[in-house]
Every structure is written in C-alpha cells, then in structure tokens.
Amino acid sequence: MIITGANSGLGAETAKALARHGAKVVLACRNTAKADDVAAAIGAAATVRELDLADLNSVRAFADTVEGADVLINNAGIMAVPLRRTAQGFESQMGTNHLGHFALTALLLPKITDRVVTLSSGMHLLGRINLGDLNWERRIYRRWQAYGDSKMANLMFGLELAKRLSDAGSDKKSFIAHPGIASTSLTGHTESIYGPLMKLTVLPIGQSSADGALPTLLAATTPDAPSGTFFGPKQLFGLRGAPVKSGYAPRAKDKAIREGLWRESERLTGIDFTV
C-alpha cells in the first residue's frame, strides 16, 4: 500500500495500523527524515520513498519507481497556509492537496490493483470550485476558503473517479474519507494566530491521530462498501467517533462542476487521465 504524507499525523498512524495487520507500506513523503523514523518504528514492512506533491516532476519521478500496489491512499495535505505557489505555479493548497494527488493517481492507476482512497475534510463544506480561477490568480486570497476548495476538490475527484471506474467496467474502487477533528501537526503550519486558536478551542473536542485515521483505514480495507462511499466519524456531527458512511455537501454531486474540475486538472497538470 502506498500512503502519501505518512511521515506524521494521520498518514503515520494509517501506515502503522496497516503494517500491524500484515500490509507492506510505502511511505511516500517529502520529509523523508521524519518518514525514516516512522519506518523504523514499523519495521521491515515499511519502505520510504521521496514524493513532493507540490512538484509534478517529483510526482512523475516517484510514479516511475512504482511497479505495482494494491491500494493508493492520497493522504498528504496542507491547511490554511499563506499564499504560496508550487513548482508549477499552482496555489499551494489546491496544488498539493488536489492537483498533486490527481496527477499521482493518473500515473499510478494502471498499477493499482484494488482501490484508491482520497482524504477530504469536513471543511469541504466551505468549498466552492471556481473553474475560472482554480489557482487564486484573480481573486483576493483567503486561506480558509482555499483550503475548503481543495478539500471539495478531493471529494469531487474521489466521487468522479468512482463513477468513471464503474462506467469503464473496472473492478477497481475509489473511496473518500475525512478524519473529523484530529490532533495532527497541520495546525502548526498556518503561520498565523489560527494555529494557537485551534489548539485552544477546536482540538480539545477532537480525537487522536490514531482515531482520526480510522475512516481512512475503513476505506482502505472494507470488502463490500460501494465505490464512491465517503467515510467519516459518527459522533458530534462528524467531528469524532467510530467511522461510518458520511454525508457531504450536495453540490459535490454537480456533474458539470465535477467534469469541469477533471478537465481543468488535466489541463493544469498536462496529464490525460483517461480511465
């Protein structure tokens, strides 16, 4: 199994849990030093490989090293950071959270035998996909809106991938998951007052990274859920608790926006993603 961003937080907990149950895990990470520490804790079942989702050249280089895998877990992400650009000039949250994973999935799908799991967030509820300005080149940048947009893009991508796999008659599946509120290092990278505020006000009602990883683990291992299922915590309006099938914003079903996002993602990444 390939897990992006498995050097800390949800990704690390996902890798550890899967390895405990017999899986061989590839920790695909930008920070390979931290990933090495996680791999050392896991043991021989873990392999570390470099992957920077903010650089499509790195995505292609990583994909070239992969011979095959049962499951791809698109876990890595950044949250509410200041305006920055990826190596190819994408707004960093959309570029890392969605476009990098879109490109990675496109390149790896022929080598994946079972399923793709993509992490979204309850913050997808903020998301409004602006196909005319996906990369915040003409709008005044709002970090939380940009994060919500990227998480809506993750959800729409996972749903659209499930539809296209089904239409193609493929046995492969696409699932989406969100952790609710989990204590991870994401809040420490906002470079603003939001990080400390979240630690004081929001995180105390959340759950551990290990519990936050449970929806991802369910999505990665469930034998019978329909492709396209969105998993999240059961309690406190999806903020914590055991993983279950989760609801999502009705606009994620918008056929025109989902197909438009797919086409725009192909254009921006330069990858023809035909399922």
Task: Give the residue numbers marked as catalytic.
Answer: 147
In degrees, to the nearest 5, what angle opens at C-alpha 108 toward C-alphas 51 and 219? 90
Beta strand 2-4 with 69-74 is: parallel
CA quadruple 253, 228, 149, 248: dihedral positive or negative?
A: positive
In degrees, to the nearest 5, what angle opens at C-alpha 53 toward C-alphas 192 and 187? 25
Tokens found for residue 118: 């993509």
**d(C-alpha 167, C-alpha 162), whole Å:** 9
**d(C-alpha 50, C-alpha 27), whole Å:** 8
Q: Which of 53, 44, 87, 93 is nearest to 72 (CA)?
A: 53
